[in-house]
Structure 1
Amino acid sequence: MACNDEVVMVLETKRNPAIWKRFDLCLMSHSHEMARCKACGKVMKATTNYMLKKHTDRHCPVTKPKKNEMGEGSGTGSSKV
């Protein structure tokens, strides 16, 4: 995305509501549509729902689970008592 590309209008969408409740579908100044994360503000291509879900589940600094929430580092490894 070009640095001078700006949001012109937020559009309504009927695409997968479970995913799109976390994103705005935006019409950009160069007449293409992009998705903007409501949590962190990152703008990305709106072509596939998979990439949007991947952003919120793994990459978004606001919504991704912390390591202890995912079970890592919770003391489940083998240790001597």
Structure 2
Amino acid sequence: MDDSQRAQAESRARMMFREIDADADGQLTVQEILDYSIKNTRSYEPFAVDKMFGSIIAADADKNHSVSEEEFVRHYVESQA
């Protein structure tokens, strides 16, 4: 991924983070991510939910059970590489 692609991925991630962060506290909870996922998918798919929870666990670098904007952006950009 070149610098331009990285910058675009970071920008997309930050926009997505703000959409998901329902209470605007700068931390994504499992509930916020689940609510966003349910609202933005056409059907409930157990595989997709399992994958989402795996991503949350992977993104939570400091293991505080929430995902900061920086953790989210880092994980998103790495997943796009």
**TM-score normalized by the length of structure 2:** 0.25
Higher relative contact order (CA 8 A, sep 6+): 2
Q: Which has a greater percent of helix?
A: 2
Larger-gyration structure (1/2):
1
